[in-house]
């Protein structure tokens, strides 16, 4: 006997990512697209879904998640802009809904997830770490969710290893020249037409540097991870942050 397909709704369906997710869901035999909605649409069709994928906007995603959790819908969220406070609210909403799962991942591309993991592993061996993230110029947020997540992973590894702040002789600086600080890691954001999503994680130590680079050249790069998220969230109750946890990395 064949299992019935997982019924999927998409929020942000007319956007760059949402439209790509709609195509990917339509192309997957074990998934069925039941709603493809965007800003201003009536959310009523979501009632037919089991899992809803959200690629909208940092200003919209929390209201969407409140709606989805209140209506008992599993969620796979790629939208960025999640602070610790936002994650805490999602956890507390889910505490009232046993069995319901939410997966929030700043990046669904396999190579980006691996790059973050490798960066976390390398961090304790180097005195200094900096991140350069490069994106298309339509992106709303800076730094990227991926760069912030990477910086936090590096920061945790550095703190666990008892590393001091990286040596830096800068005494005079034009505002922003040394980047933004996330978990005390300098993060530099580049926005250019022509780019999709790219990240370089640079480590510096005694007489050497290590650069880990990932490039998403097309939005299809995110789709295997999104579909994996949809298939796994139905049996992952509670909040999961980061695809690395689904991949058991
Ligand atoms: N986690 C990941 O792997 C990735 C995450 N992203 C993130 O996904 C988000 C969307 O990115 P793009 O698709 O490039 O943006 P986009 O601007 O092309 O699309 C966003 C869509 O959401 C719609 N929208 C806004 N508010 C809404 C609401 N309340 N309900 C339903 N739809 C709403 C907009 O009208 C628009 O069509 C961003 O936060 C971006 O950083 C993007 C690529 C990969
Ligand atoms: O807006 C984008 O395009 C992307 N957003 C995510 C982020 O902020 O990290 C993921 C990826 O970098 C593409």
* 141 CA → ligand 2 middle, Å: 9
Cα–Cα distances in angstroms (integers) from residue 239 to residues 5, 9, 172, 243, in the given order: 23, 19, 43, 12
Give the model confidence (pLDDT) of 53-97 as tens digits: 999 999 999 999 999 999 999 999 999 999 999 999 999 999 999
pTM for the full predicted model = 0.97
- The reported pLDDT for the residue numbered 2 is 66
- Residue 2: count of CB within 10 angstroms of its CB: 6
> Complex ipTM, two decimals?
0.99
Which of 39, 68, 146 has most ligand 1 atoms within 8 Å of CB, for mutation? 39
- The reported pLDDT for the residue numbered 1 is 54
How far is 8 from 74, CA to CA, in rounded Å? 10
Give the model confidence (pLDDT) of 166-178 as tens digits: 999 999 999 999 9
> SS3 for 246?
helix
Which of 21, 83, 107 has most ligand 2 atoms within 8 Å of CB, for mutation? 107
The residues near 67 (Cβ < 8 Å, ≥ 6 apart) are 43, 46
Element (H or E) spanning 120, and its range?
helix 110-122
Among candidate residues 57, 97, 135, 149, the one labeled active-site is: 135
How far is 219 from 10, CA to CA, in rounded Å? 16
Please, what are the averages of pLDDT over each run of 10 residues along the chain (249 residues)?
89 98 98 98 97 98 98 98 96 97 98 98 98 98 97 98 96 97 98 98 98 98 98 98 95
């Amino acid at each position: 006997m064949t299992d019935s397909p997982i019924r999927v709704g998409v929020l942000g369906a007319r956007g760059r990512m949402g439209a790509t997710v709609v195509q990917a869901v339509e192309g997957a035999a074990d998934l069925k697209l039941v709603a493809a909605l965007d800003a201003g649409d009536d959310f009523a069709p979501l009632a037919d879904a089991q899992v809803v994928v959200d690629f909208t906007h940092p200003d919209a995603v929390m209201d969407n998640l409140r709606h989805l959790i209140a209506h008992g819908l599993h969620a796979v969220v790629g939208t960025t802009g999640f602070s610790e406070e936002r994650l805490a609210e999602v956890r507390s909403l889910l505490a009232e809904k046993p069995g319901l799962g939410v997966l929030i991942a700043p990046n669904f591309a396999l190579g980006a997830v691996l790059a973050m993991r490798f960066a976390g592993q390398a961090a304790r061996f180097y005195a200094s770490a900096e991140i350069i993230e490069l994106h298309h110029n339509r992106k709303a947020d800076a730094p990227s969710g991926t760069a912030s997540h990477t910086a936090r992973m590096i920061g945790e590894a550095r703190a666990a290893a008892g590393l001091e702040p990286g040596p830096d002789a800068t005494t005079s600086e034009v505002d922003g020249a040394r980047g933004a600080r996330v978990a005390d890691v300098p993060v530099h954001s580049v926005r250019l037409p022509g780019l999709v999503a790219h990240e370089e994680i640079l480590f510096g130590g005694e007489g050497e540097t290590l650069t880990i680079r990932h490039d998403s050249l097309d939005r299809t790069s995110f789709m295997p991870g999104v579909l994996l998220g949809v298939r796994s969230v139905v049996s992952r109750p509670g909040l999961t942050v980061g695809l690395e946890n689904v991949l058991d990395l």
